[in-house]
Amino acid sequence: MKWVTYLRAIKLVRMQQVKTWFHNNGRSRKSKDVIKYVRRWNIRQVVGALHQKEVEILCRDHSQAVPGDKAYLKSYQKVLKRYAEGLSDDQKIKYQNIANEWSDRSPPRDIQQR
């Protein structure tokens, strides 16, 4: 009986030694690059941020619902798209430049805090 217990103890020690060896000498994983989370802005997002009140009013009229309802959320992108497409070419160029600037650097603090 003592002999069996001795063999089990040796087996456990040997298993621990093998486990430690693999832990120390196993393959090493490649380190991942640091990911920079960057938001790429487009015209529609800039218009939605800068003309939030106007788009909200139009969306309320279009959906006949208050913000947060399914109908309101369903129609928001459509209204925002129509509003952005209805802008003049000069305004579109202006907002595209703002989008490029916000993508390269960062948007103003009040836009970030929304």
Centroid of chain to Cα 38 = 9
Query: What is the rounded CA–CA span in Å between residue 11 and residue 84?
Result: 73
Q: Do 79 and 58 touch, CB atoms closer than 8 A?
A: yes
Q: Would you state the pLDDT for residue 101?
A: 94
| Summary mean pLDDT of the chain | 88
Kindly report the pTM of this predicted structure.
Answer: 0.63
- Name the amino acid, one letter, at 94: K
Assign 1 a pLDDT band (cuts: 50, 70, 90). Answer: low
The confidence band for 88, taking pLDDT boundaries of 50, 70 and 90, is: very high
